[in-house]
Amino acid sequence: MKLTVAKALKEKNKKLNQINKLWARLGENNSILEGNTREFNPEELLNQIKQETEGFIQLKTKIHNVCAPVREKIFRLSELKCLTRRLKSIDTKNGAVQTRYENSSARYVAHFSIGKIDQLVEDLENEIDQIQEELDQFNHTNYLE
């Protein structure tokens, strides 16, 4: 059965969640109090992790290969999201602000106002939405080999 990229990405996330679940079980069952019973066999868990990881690698490789035509868009989307998060974290205090520890105030001067940051973020989010729509279209119309 051929998978669309969209379904393959969902499957990849499921596989990653399963691997994380197995790692958590291994962490909980590797070292236990003497006399207690292990719920899961650590050797079997490690073997399952290796097997699931191999399938995860194969799926990621197939996704990576089929996404070559849109790889730059994928990278751009990721970096624009990062840029947006960073812009949102910029301190935009401006003017007199009461200090926490003393009965005094400090005067701040912001280079970028909250309005300017909001406009930059909005512009980036519009570009992100456009790229995401293009990637969604690609993901629903292309299949893994």
pLDDT for the residue numbered 128: 98
Could you read off the pLDDT of 122-136 as tens digits, one per residue? 999 999 999 999 999
The arithmetic mean of pLDDT across residues 12-20, rounded, is: 98
pLDDT for the residue numbered 16: 98
- Model's pTM, two decimal places? 0.81
pLDDT at 108 over 80: yes
First to last CA, the chain: 10
Residues with Cβ within 8 Å of residue 98, at least 6 apart in sequence: 104, 105
| pLDDT top residue among 139 and 99 | 139
- CB 141 within 8 Å of CB 8: no
Residue 36, SS3 per DSSP: coil
Binned at pLDDT 50, 70 and 90, residue 120 comes out as: very high
The Cα–Cα gap between 17 and 37 comes to 26
Binned at pLDDT 50, 70 and 90, residue 66 comes out as: very high
